[in-house]
Amino acid sequence: MGTDAQLLVVTDDVRAGEEDLLAAQEDLRETERVLSRFREDSELSQLNREGSLVAGERLLAAVRAAIRAHALSGGLLDPRVISSLESLGYRESLPRDEVEVSERPKPLSPVNDMESWIEEETGRITLPFGTRLDLAGVGKALGIGWAALRLAGRHAGILVDVGGDMVALGYDGQGEPWRVAVNHGEVVGEFEGTPLAVATSTTTLRAWKADGKAAHHLIDPRTGEPSEGGFAYATATAPTILEADLAAKLLILEGQGAMQRFGEGLRAVITNREGNSEYLSGQNNRSEETIALRKGAV
């Protein structure tokens, strides 16, 4: 998944814990094998090349989640941003040097029928001509959740942390609820509880220069360009890791108004471009899209 992963169990059965950790690690690898756009042999890359295939369970789940995220966000979380990322030089890997851009990205055309891409009876996904998908955020969140399910209920406590996005269940090594520091270049807050699902988005890490202009991986589909919102960091905790991931990204793209799209279970810490941090809490409502996201999620 292009980042470090830490898996941890709190258990009295060391052998069972080691076996379960190996299984969870392999589960993460399988998610990457299926959903990475950087692997030519991944199922997602095959879909992007061929435009249609009968998908396996993980790819189907990821595309369904991306479609629901698109609906929940009013189109701001768009899995078709791969064309913008590639135009800005983010192809096989994150650019290390400044990129020359031959043509600036364009706004993505609106789409209202993503559900029609999936034939539920057969599991076939068919993309419109010229459409390719980047499922990185959704895929990472789902992968964390799937790995956590491998460990859930088997030990006193578990932690699955992939690049700072995490699910924590049960209790830590001291028998206390999990505590997660919010690091926005420096520690600016903390979340505590069990279960706990936390995700962070920022414009400062997967960032590079394109034609002398700052670029990053969080694309605003309304412009096709990297988001220029007021927040540099957003860390969210929510009932599921998928919701936490989507909320963190939406806060960067949409600002504080993104909190209204989620229920009361959402809390967040944001840091603006001037370095000022603030706690936010969710609204007392649950949309149909939010409920759909929670089905079967961790």
Distance CA 89, CA 101 (A): 7
| Sheet arrangement for strand 124-126 | 52-54, 124-126, 118-119
Least confident of 115-124, 135-144, 256-265: 256-265
Residue type, 247: A
Q: Give the DSSP letter of residue 42.
A: S
Structural domain for 130, as ranges: 5-294
pLDDT in tens, 257-279: 999 999 789 999 999 999 999 99
Q: What percent of the chain has pLDDT over 90?
A: 82
Q: Does residue 132 have a pLDDT over 70?
A: yes
Helix (H) or strand (E) holding 219: strand 219-220
Which residues, in sequence order, are CB contacts of 247 under 8 Å at separation 6+? Answer: 199, 234, 236, 238, 258, 259, 261, 262, 266, 268
Lookup: tokens for 68: 């629901």
Name the pLDDT band for 93 (thresholds 50, 70, 90): confident
Give the pLDDT of residue 100: 87
User: What does the CA dihedral 150, 155, 161, 166 come to, rounded to 10 degrees?
Assistant: 90
Nearest to 160 by CA among 175, 176, 178: 178
Distance CA 73, CA 59 (A): 21
pLDDT in tens, 139-170: 999 999 999 999 999 999 999 999 999 999 99
Q: Does residue 19 have a pLDDT over 80?
A: yes
Q: What SS3 state is found at 196?
A: strand
Least confident of 98-107, 122-131, 167-176, 228-237: 98-107
Q: What SS3 state is found at 68?
A: helix
Average pLDDT of the segment spanning 191-195: 96
Q: Beta partners for 269?
A: 235, 279
Q: Give the DSSP letter of residue 52.
A: E
Name the pLDDT band for 289 (thresholds 50, 70, 90): low
Lookup: tokens for 127: 């993309």
* Average pLDDT, rounded, for the chain: 92
Which residues, in sequence order, are CB contacts of 45 under 8 Å at separation 6+? Answer: 36, 37, 39
Cis peptide bond N-terminal to 226, omega within 30: no
Helix (H) or strand (E) holding 136: helix 136-151
Nearest to 35 by CA among 86, 95, 82: 82
Predicted TM-score (pTM) of the model is 0.92
Q: Does residue 294 have a pLDDT over 70?
A: no
CA distances from 175 to 169, 179, 182 (A): 12, 12, 21
Name the pLDDT band for 290 (thresholds 50, 70, 90): low
> How many Cβ atoms are within 10 Å of 7's Cβ, its own excluded?
23
Domains contained in the chain, number: 1
pLDDT in tens, 204-236: 988 999 988 889 999 999 999 999 999 999 999
Find out whether 207 and 232 touch, Cβ atoms under 8 Å.
Answer: no
Give the pLDDT of residue 23: 96
Q: Is 50 exposed, middle or buried (0-12, 13-18, 19+ CB in 10 A)?
A: exposed
Domain with 122 in it: what CATH number?
A: 3.10.520.10
